[in-house]
Structure 1
C-alpha cells in the first residue's frame, strides 16, 4: 500500500557554493518509515538550486562554479558575441549578487525526482545531491521533501 510523507528541511549554507544534503535527505527517508518509492526534492528559493553531481573530486564542483560564473557574470551582461556595452542588472533589491543568483537558478533546477530503496536514495557510487547556493552570503534555505512509497 502506497503512503506519502511531506516534510521540510532547513539548511544553512556558507555562501556561494555547494552543500551536500544527501545524508539529511536519507535521514528523513529513514525516519518516514518508507522503504521503497520516489522522492520529490524541491528548493523553496529563487536564488539557490539543486544538482546531482560528483562527490569524490571537489574540482568538479569548483569547475561548475567557474563555468556558471562565466556564463552569468556578476557585474552584468554583454551581447553573446562578447562585444558591446555592458548592461548592469536592473534588479538589485538584495544586493549586487541578487539578479545573477536568480539567473543562475533559472539555468539550473529547483526540483529533483529521485528513487529510493532500503530507506535511502538510489545514487551512483560517486554521486551526491547538493544544494547549490548562488548568493555570496550565508543563507538559511528550506527544502521540501515529498516521499511516495511503501
Structure 2
C-alpha cells in the first residue's frame, strides 16, 4: 500500500491491520511518534491525517486515507512551526517523551480554535498526558503559538 508521510510517498508491505504507529516507526524509521500506552489514551503517538490529530497506536494503516504528518514534518530546524517555537520559548519539555504528541495535538487544535481561552486549551490538551506535569507551560505555549499564528 502507499502512504504519504511528511510529503513523501512510501510503498509499504504490511498487513492492513498493523497500527500506523508501528508502520511509521518500524517500517519507515520515523521515530517522533512514541509508544506510550497502546490504547489511545496518552497521546504520545499523535500524528495528523489531513491536519486532524489522530492516535497512531490504534489507527490501522489500512484505514488511513489522506496525508500523514508527524512531528518531523510539522516544521524544520530552519523554519519551526509556531507551536514548536512556542514550546522552546516556554521551555515546556522536561523528559520530552510526550512532547511530539503534545505539539501535534496543539497544532491541530489551533487550526480549529485560533484564539483559545485557557479553559479551551485545558480541555483540548487534557487528552495528552505529561508525566512531568508541565501543563501550565503547555497552556502558556499554546497561547503564545495562537498569538504567533494570528500575526501578533
Question: Given the two structures, how large is their TM-score scaled by the length of structure 2?
Answer: 0.25
Higher normalized contact order (CA 8 Å, seq sep 6+, divided by chain length): 1
Bigger strand share: 1
Q: Which has the higher helix share?
A: 2
Q: Which has the larger Rg? A: 1
Q: TM-score, normalised by structure 1?
A: 0.25
